[in-house]
């Protein structure tokens, strides 16, 4: 983090006194409050409504309605409530996230009841943002089990429907074989199947058996004023049956009674398509299900009455016992035992044992990480080698994996703006199709057959060329071939897969809207400290005007001990290495980007950059003293740094009544992947900038090393100046992403089109709160990975939408008979139903291809046995 924001009023700061002693404040900056402005759904106003699970029949009805084109209807029902500010429907997760204008007790239950009354059986989700790991896992596992059972039942209906299709088409098959000289199938059984009344019975069985849900769901939705895909298919099937029934009961019409085959074949194709679509949707959820599998429902709690330290190579005390308990029952301070092959259930520190831990699902890093006593471990990671005893530091809903899953769930509920186009089309789609169907009938019956009399020679008009039969069949074709489902599935399937893939690879992307903005980025602004550099600086030298160097270090550590930025960490770590006692402070004030101020031993002490510290106190060091102080800071590169890849910062220390009394030189090392990432971004045509609050010399050196153009390097900037430069770039037409890691980066992250926070799963800060993307792997190369994933995801979204729109634009005119006059081609209802089903299958399958996205494919990870055979240096 670079430490230089706006320059506060010196006189005001000089008069500042800390509040009464109440312990140091970790986040005194106002940037740590009021994050609702950058968080899409504030926790205290968030309601989540799920599909009802009271019975399998109810679930089937609800999930099917959501799947086939009613997401917009659900959203409009919720938005009609005066208490609702906005609502987002997660079609694939069968849930809706609602943001209220103000807290309203009982609103969730009332909204769920309203949806149920309108034909979408729902229930308010309990727990919300405070749900524990076990509860989150239970919700997703229940939904996966429900979908799996629905798929099984769907396959049963498909088998039943196609048995009826085979029976209906049996007589046609016998005639076909007879034409080839195969004289079988002319027996009594097939003669019975050829009977029109038998076919009528088979069609009725199809309508009220496997097609019952489609028929009644469609009718119910139509009566409630929200017709959907089931309405179109149900009306088309019923119309085909009605036409055949009229033909059967009125022989004088001389229509072809074998038209009873059509509703049976239509339902067979539709049910087959939906079964394949359900299977594809389950595969689309596989990444999310894999994340959920990392939530361990149980943990092995260690109970012991002994307070003795563990033996040097031991895991448990001699009197220790272990008890299996739900993971949500583990409390901070408890010890748990994790055996090889098990998922670590809580965040904590290793207190016994050593092993290798697979953290790939959190950071995207394929190689395992060595863990021993004192090392931190995180929930959701997998223990490979040996047993570990872990002391819990974070549990339940605050654990790493629970937070990640909650963020991914929220992200999938935030729609991409392109979804509004799909909603705008899908909303009036069904009424439009019904109108087109009526217009098709009217045209051909009143005008078309008179303008093109030759069309009556087509088989669709029956043996006697009846214009009424032709018009009815074409009208049914239009009803059945139209497909709003492909439009409804185009965006959410790709967003689901994209966000889940990102989470598995250490990229937390907060919604489809973020993916869409990220895909359009053409300029990236990089912070220096902690972004281009490793963010783990070390103290290289100390200089003092009057005090012992260790005293300067002690005073600096006292002021910085509660701060979280890398420079503060370097100072406190050096103090610990020198085994110095850190004085207590009675308060602290942080000026992000400039430094920190605290009262130590009754006098104010400031640590920060030269100008800020120099102006804090009335007593000023002379220019000669300051020059001499700088010369004393001899800079000796560390063993892993060279002059070309090292960044040097200087923290000055001032004391009330004395002015500046010393300085500490701190160096940071360039990230290993910094140059390759900048090169990769520039090769993709993305302009790169470095904006830093650090000294010009440090910024220029780092910028030159990584290859950022000199005119794109800016130093000595306040946080507000960084945000201003970003706004200027946006004013020039650029779509800007900002990459940072600290408190002073929060304004810039919020100002950018997309904020990207460097970070690890071991901490949270203002940067990750303000960012739209969080890089859990803490690797700069993940910036390029996130851009690549977003572009691939949005490409799938655009392909899906293009297909869905093009299919309907082409299929509806053909179904309406556009090719009949010139090419003598007309669809049948069964063919129309098959094409309609295939359109949805194409959209989901195309989204599944996103899982093959090359640049983010995880490398094959070695298993535990292979790991043991590798030299330790290769793993570390």
Please tell me whether residues 514 and 614 are part of one structural domain: no
- 555 and 611 both lie in a single domain: yes
Phi, psi (deg, nearest 5) at residue 574: -65, -35
End-of-domain residue from the set 669, 685, 711 = 669
Do residues 235 and 254 make contact, with C-beta atoms less than 8 angstroms apart? Answer: no
- Map 272-297 to HEC letters: HHHHHHHHHHHHHCHHHHHHHCCCCC
Q: At what angle do helices 781-815 and 512-519 cross, to 10 degrees?
A: 100
Same domain, 550 and 663: yes
Give the pLDDT of residue 55: 31
Question: How many domains would you assign to the chain?
Answer: 3
Domain boundary among 643, 669, 695: 669
Three-state DSSP at 126 gives coil
Q: Could you say which of 130, 153, 173 is where a domain stops?
A: 130
| Mean pLDDT in consecutive groups of 10 residues from the start of the chain, 876 residues | 39 44 34 30 38 33 45 77 78 70 77 80 60 60 76 87 80 55 56 76 89 86 77 82 81 64 79 75 63 77 68 67 84 90 90 86 70 88 88 83 72 64 70 90 92 88 82 88 78 83 83 88 91 83 89 92 80 91 85 84 90 84 80 52 56 90 87 93 95 83 92 87 92 94 75 84 52 85 94 92 90 93 87 80 86 54 40 32
> For residue 776, which of 484, 385, 379 has the smallest C-alpha distance?
379
In angstroms, the Cα distances linking 551 to 98, 548, 658, 720 are 56, 5, 15, 34
Task: Looking at the structure, tell me whether residues 650 and 601 fall in a common domain.
Answer: yes
Q: Which three-class secondary structure state does DSSP give residue 233?
A: helix
Structural domain including 589 reads 10-33+534-669
Q: Which of 325, 327, 305, 324 is nearest to 316 (CA)?
A: 305
Cα distances from 522 to residues 172, 683, 738, in angstroms, run: 61, 12, 11
- Strand segments, DSSP code E, in 24-113 are 46-51, 84-90, 95-100
10 Å CB burial of residue 733 (0-12, 13-18, 19+) is exposed
On the 0-12 / 13-18 / 19+ scale of CB atoms within 10 A, 353 is buried
Say what the pLDDT of residue 675 is: 94
Structure tokens at 684: 């993709």
Q: What is the pLDDT of residue 9?
A: 42
- Enzyme catalytic residues: 527
For residue 822, being part of any structural domain is answered with no
Residue 84 belongs to some domain of the structure: yes
Angle at 72 between CA 69 and CA 73, to 5 degrees: 90
Phi and psi at residue 206, in whole multiples of 5°?
-65, -40
d(CA 489, CA 274): 13
Rounded to 10 degrees, the C-alpha dihedral 764/769/774/779 comes to -50
- So what's the pLDDT on residue 862? 41
Residue 835, domain member (yes or no): no
In this structure, how many other beta carbons lie within 10 angstroms of the beta carbon of residue 548? 11
Residues 528 and 538 in one domain: no
Q: What phi and psi values does residue 101 have, to the nearest 5 degrees?
A: -70, -30
CATH number at residue 122: 3.30.70.100
**Helix (H) or strand (E) segment spanning residue 487:** helix 485-504
CATH number for the domain that contains residue 739: 3.40.50.1000
Task: Give the domain CATH number at 621.
Answer: 3.40.1110.10
Q: Is residue 563 part of a domain?
A: yes
| Secondary structure of residue 36 in the 3-state scheme | helix
Residues 766 and 675 in one domain: yes
Residue 689: predicted pLDDT: 96
DSSP conformational letter for 777: T
**Does residue 744 contact residue 717 with C-beta atoms inside 8 Å?**
no
Calpha distance 376→762 (Å, rounded): 8
Decide: 262 and 828 in contact? Cβ < 8 Å: yes
Are residues 653 and 539 both part of a single domain? yes
Same domain, 573 and 621: yes
Hey, what are 284's tokens? 């689309």
For residues 647 and 710, membership in a common domain is answered with no
Q: Could you tell me if 545 and 632 lie in one domain?
A: yes
Tokens representing residue 503 in the block:
């989470």
Measuring CA to CA, how many Å separate 690 from each of 233, 327, 421, 525, 673? 58, 44, 37, 6, 16
Backbone angles phi, psi at 847, to 5 degrees: -65, -35
User: Which residues pair with residue 526 across a beta bridge?
Assistant: 690, 739
One domain for residues 513 and 582: no
In a domain, 24, yes or no: yes
**CA 182, CA 202: separation in Å to the nearest integer?**
27
Please enumerate in sequence order all residues whose Cβ is within 8 A of that of 319, keeping only pairs 6 or more positions apart, or say none.
Answer: 304, 305, 306
The answer to the question of residue 415 being in a domain is: no
For 111-137, give one letter per residue: b (16+ CB within 10 A) or e. Answer: bbebbbebbbbbbbbeebeebbbbbbb
Buried b (16+ CB within 10 A) or exposed e, 501-531: bbbbbbbbbbbbbbbbbbbebebbbbbbbbb
**What phi and psi values does residue 355 have, to the nearest 5 degrees?**
-170, 175
Let me know if residue 851 belongs to a domain. no
Residue-level pLDDT at 858: 46
Place of tokens 């016998």: 174
- Asked if residue 760 is part of any domain, the answer here is yes
Q: Are residues 515 and 543 in the same domain?
A: no
CA distances, 323 to each of 304, 377, 381, 441 (Å): 11, 21, 21, 72
Neighbouring CB atoms inside 10 A of 872's CB total 9
H helix and E strand count, the chain: 33, 26
* pLDDT, position 776: 82
């Amino acid at each position: 983090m670079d430490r230089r924001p706006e320059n506060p009023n010196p006189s005001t700061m000089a008069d500042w006194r800390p509040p009464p002693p109440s312990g140091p404040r970790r986040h005194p900056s106002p940037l740590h409050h009021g994050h609702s402005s950058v968080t899409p759904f504030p926790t205290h106003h968030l309601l989540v409504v799920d599909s009802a699970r009271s019975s399998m029949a109810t679930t089937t009805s609800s999930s099917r309605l959501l799947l086939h084109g009613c997401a917009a209807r659900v959203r409009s029902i919720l938005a009609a409530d005066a208490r609702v500010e906005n609502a987002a429907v997660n079609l694939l997760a069968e849930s809706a996230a609602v943001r209220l204008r103000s807290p309203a007790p009982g609103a969730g239950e009332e909204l769920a009841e309203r949806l149920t009354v309108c034909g979408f059986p729902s229930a308010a989700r309990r727990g919300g943002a405070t749900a524990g790991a076990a509860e989150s896992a239970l919700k997703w596992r229940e939904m996966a089990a429900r979908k799996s059972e629905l798929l099984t039942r769907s396959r049963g209906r498909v088998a039943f429907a196609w048995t009826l299709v085979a029976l209906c088409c049996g007589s046609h098959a016998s005639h076909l074989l007879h034409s080839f000289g195969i004289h079988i199938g002319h027996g009594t059984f097939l003669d019975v199947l050829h009977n029109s009344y038998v076919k009528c019975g088979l069609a009725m069985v199809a309508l009220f058996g496997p097609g019952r849900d489609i028929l009644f769901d469609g009718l119910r939705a139509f009566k409630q004023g929200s017709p959907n895909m089931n309405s179109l298919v149900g009306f088309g099937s019923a119309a085909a049956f009605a036409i055949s029934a009229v033909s059967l009961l009125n022989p004088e019409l001389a229509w072809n009674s074998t038209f009873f085959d059509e509703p049976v074949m239509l339902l067979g194709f539709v049910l087959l398509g939906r079964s394949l679509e359900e299977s594809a949707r389950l595969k689309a959820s596989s990444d999310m299900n894999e994340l959920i599998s990392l939530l361990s429902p149980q943990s092995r709690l260690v109970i012991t009455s002994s307070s003795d330290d563990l033996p040097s190579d031991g895991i448990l005390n001699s009197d220790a016992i272990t008890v299996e308990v739900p993971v949500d029952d583990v409390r901070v301070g408890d010890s748990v035992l994790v055996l090889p092959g098990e998922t670590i259930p809580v965040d904590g520190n290793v207190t016994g044992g050593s092993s290798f831990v697979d953290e790939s699902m959190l950071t995207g890093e394929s190689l395992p990480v060595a863990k021993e006593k004192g090392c931190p471990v995180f929930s959701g990671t997998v223990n490979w080698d040996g047993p570990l005893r872990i002391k819990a530091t974070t549990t339940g809903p605050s654990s790493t994996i629970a937070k990640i899953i909650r963020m991914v769930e929220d992200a999938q509920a935030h729609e991409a703006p392109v979804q509004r186009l799909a909603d705008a089309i899908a909303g009036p789609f069904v009424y439009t199709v019904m109108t087109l169907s009526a217009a098709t009938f009217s045209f051909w019956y009143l005008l078309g057959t008179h303008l093109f009399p030759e069309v009556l020679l087509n088989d669709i008009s029956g043996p006697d060329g009846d214009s009424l039969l032709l018009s009815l069949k074409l009208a049914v074709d239009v009803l059945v071939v139209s497909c709003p489902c492909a439009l409804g599935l185009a965006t959410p399937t790709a967003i689901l897969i994209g966000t889940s893939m990102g989470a598995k690879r250490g990229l937390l992307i907060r919604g489809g809207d973020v993916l869409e903005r990220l895909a359009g980025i053409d300029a990236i602004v990089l912070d220096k400290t902690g972004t281009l550099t490793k963010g783990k600086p070390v103290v290289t030298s100390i200089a003092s005007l009057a005090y012992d160097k260790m005293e300067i270090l002690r005073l600096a550590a006292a002021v910085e001990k509660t701060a979280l930025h890398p420079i503060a960490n370097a100072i406190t770590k050096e103090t610990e290495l020198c085994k110095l006692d850190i004085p207590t402070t009675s308060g602290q004030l942080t000026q992000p980007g400039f430094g920190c101020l605290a009262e130590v031993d009754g006098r104010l002490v400031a640590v920060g950059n030269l100008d800020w510290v120099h102006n804090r106190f009335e007593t000023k060091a002379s220019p000669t003293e300051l020059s001499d102080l700088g010369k004393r800071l001899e800079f000796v590169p560390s063993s892993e740094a060279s002059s070309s890849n090292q960044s040097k910062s200087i923290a000055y220390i001032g004391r009330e009544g004395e002015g500046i009394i010393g300085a500490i030189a701190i160096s940071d090392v360039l990230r290993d992947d910094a140059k390759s990432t900048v090169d990769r971004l520039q090769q993709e045509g993305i302009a790169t900038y470095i904006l830093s609050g650090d000294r010009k010399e440090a910024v220029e050196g780092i910028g030159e090393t990584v290859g950022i153009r000199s005119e794109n390097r800016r130093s000595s900037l306040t946080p507000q100046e960084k945000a201003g430069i970003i706004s200027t770039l946006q004013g020039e037409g650029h779509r800007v992403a900002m990459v940072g890691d600290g408190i002073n980066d929060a304004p810039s992250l919020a100002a950018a089109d997309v904020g990207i926070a460097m970070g690890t799963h071991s901490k949270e800060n203002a940067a990750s709160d303000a960012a739209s993307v969080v890089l859990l792997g803490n690797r700069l190369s993940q910036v390029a990975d996130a851009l690549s994933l977003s572009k691939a995801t949005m490409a799938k979204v655009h392909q899906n939408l293009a297909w869905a729109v093009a299919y309907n634009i082409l299929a509806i005119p053909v179904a309406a008979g556009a090719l009949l006059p010139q090419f003598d081609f007309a669809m049948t209802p069964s063919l129309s139903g098959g094409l309609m089903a295939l359109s949805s299958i194409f959209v989901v399958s195309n989204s599944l291809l996103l899982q093959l996205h090359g640049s983010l494919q995880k490398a094959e990870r070695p298993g535990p046995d292979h790991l043991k055979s590798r030299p330790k240096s290769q793993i570390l």
